[in-house]
Amino acid sequence: CRSGVTVRRYCMKNPTKLRVSEAFLDAQVGEKVRIQGWVRSFRPQKQNLFLHVNDGSSLKSLQVIAPAAMNDPLLGFGCAVEVRGILKKSPHSKQPVELEAEQIWVIGECNPDFPFKIKERHSLEYIRQFLHLRCRTNAFSSLLRIRSEATAAVHSYFKNNGFLLVHTPTITSNDCEGAGELFQVEPPGTTFANEGSFFSVPVYLTVSGQLHLEVMSGAFPRVYTFGPTFRAENSQSRRHLAEFFMVEAEISFTESIEDLTKVWKSAFTAKIVINCYPKSYIFLSPLHLKDTLDDMLRKSFPVITYTEAIDILKRSSETFTFPTDWGCDLMTEHEKFLVKHCGNIPVFVTDYPHDLKPFYARDNQDHPKHTAAAVDLLVPGVGELSGGSLREERLDLLRSRLGECGLEDTYSWYLDLRRFGSVPHGGFGLGFERYLQCILGVDNIKDVIPFPRFSHSCLL
Ligand code: 4AD
């Protein structure tokens, strides 16, 4: 009777299967039902057996009461069960309905060395050791629910604001960021030499869909993409992954950084989904953080130039590991300091040195220092969350920049975009995992993605 086959045959002629979340709607009270799920708590007592069964349809578990005689050595915390019985109103207000079991079937027993223990609240670090099992914990299943909601919220924000979704390619021949952090792709057995390789040119996993979005922005004024992005960054840091998800938007007929940051901020704020999921949220983060976050998002975000940022860093009494001279890149320690300095709210830093930014960033020719119209959004707890720029739409300037980088031939198609009806445009890319880290206060990026990939680690 305990074999899966028997259970399935039995189920076919038996009562309607109820999802645990539906049980709480009360509609089936008094009826014979069956549920399938996993045992989340298990209390055998003298007369009765009490279980809580969760089937993943929500965070709620349904209490099951059975006569003690139904206890079975295979039954216990973590095992998969089917329970058939009568759904009853419960006298306890916290637990409005319960299932009075007539039969309990163990579908899959749970070995005692299951790493998660009953009633224990395990840390995210602990559960991360079991990537293949961690979705069975309240903390990680909550994260997955929030992540799924946030994904839907991203799409609904862009859809409601007139953006066209473009599926940009995963395999590409360009290095958009020019940082050389590429994973090269070839079928096994081929050499990486150009001749004889699959595509006849070297190809890579995408580091950004921006250039493909720019192609589309020649016909659609607002486009976005949201998908996996790859960087061969040899980092084990708490905010770097080799594969992460990026939300990227590109807007045509945009002439100023202000226009860009307006959309940027509203996209960031609109994606706040934690209010829909307070129950999930508490399994991950202290509730006071949610209030702080709500408060933070109501404020307008300060905008400072890179030059002002350098002044702030130089004038501070803080000792930094990395240099703070004009022309040096801002490091995490600088970004975090700037966020604190601005009142612990998100801050836009604009007009970076031209040499620090990729070839596509628009040259601020009228500035006394040689800067580009590039912006980063820095946020509490994380530092850089998002990067973007106005794009160089002027053919002559773009051609000479590409020439300086030795890229004129590689990007002849990109120059064409400026030859045929070029318009001022700009966009940004937002790291989705860093966004989740920020709104949930999660310290390590590996805890906000189902299957983290980073240097020396590609488990599963
Ligand atoms: O600043 P980045 O490199 O910008 C671009 O790729 C632009 N082409 C985007 C655009 O304008 N369409 O990356 C954007 C964001 C970063 O701010 C960061 O949040 C995230 O992507 N990111 C990473 N997230 C996790 N792990 C990594 N290794 C990341 N590298 C960048």
**Token digits for 293?**
């976050």
**Token digits for 197?**
């390789």
- The closest-lying atom of ligand 1 relative to the alpha carbon of residue 428 is 11
The percent of residues in the chain predicted with pLDDT above 70, rounded, is: 91
pLDDT at 10: 43
pLDDT at 361: 97
In a domain, 58, yes or no: yes
Q: Residue 24 maps to which CATH number?
A: 2.40.50.140
Task: Give the separation between CA 135 and CA 142, rounded to whole angstroms.
Answer: 9
Range of the domain at 184: 125-447
Q: Is the CB of 177 under 6 A from ligand 1?
A: yes
Q: Is the CB of 427 under 6 A from ligand 1?
A: yes
Nearest to 350, CA basis, from 332, 364, 360, 336 = 364
51 C-alpha to center of ligand 1: Å?
A: 46
Nearest CA to ligand 1 atom 18: 431
**Token digits for 98?**
């319960």
pLDDT band at 300 (very low <50, low <70, confident <90, very high): confident
Q: Are residues 164 and 74 in the same domain?
A: no
CB-based contacts of 243, cutoff 8 Å, min separation 6: 228, 229, 230, 453
pTM of the model: 0.92
Q: Are residues 389 and 293 in the same domain?
A: yes
3-state class (DSSP) for residue 249: strand
Q: Is the CB of 241 under 6 A from ligand 1?
A: yes
Q: Are residues 50 and 84 in the same domain?
A: yes
Q: Are residues 18 and 134 in the same domain?
A: no
Q: What would the pLDDT profile of 185-232 be if each residue is shown by its tens digit?
A: 988 877 655 566 888 888 999 999 999 999 999 999 999 999 999 999
Q: Are residues 78 and 160 in the same domain?
A: no
Q: Are residues 87 and 161 in the same domain?
A: no
Contact of 304 with 312, CB cutoff 8 Å: yes
Task: Give the separation between CA 49 and CA 114, rounded to whole angstroms.
Answer: 22
Query: How many domains does the chain divide into?
Result: 2
Q: Are residues 102 and 22 in the same domain?
A: yes
Task: Give the separation between CA 352 and CA 327, rounded to whole angstroms.
Answer: 8
> Residue 369 is which amino acid?
K
Domain boundary among 75, 108, 141: 108
pLDDT band at 12 (very low <50, low <70, confident <90, very high): very low
178 C-alpha to center of ligand 1: Å?
A: 13
313 C-alpha to center of ligand 1: Å?
A: 23
Half-sphere exposure of 343 (CA within 13 A, CB side): 14
Q: Are residues 84 and 135 in the same domain?
A: no
Q: Is the CB of 176 under 6 A from ligand 1?
A: yes
Across 253-324, the runs of DSSP E, i.e. the strands, are 303-305
- The closest-lying atom of ligand 1 relative to the alpha carbon of residue 445 is 25
Q: Are residues 349 and 404 in the same domain?
A: yes
Contact of 164 with 216, CB cutoff 8 Å: yes
Q: Are residues 150 and 71 in the same domain?
A: no
Q: Residue 364 maps to which CATH number?
A: 3.30.930.10
pLDDT at 279: 58
Q: Are residues 99 and 147 in the same domain?
A: no
| Helix (H) or strand (E) segment spanning residue 100 | strand 97-108
CB-based contacts of 14, cutoff 8 Å, min separation 6: 34, 84
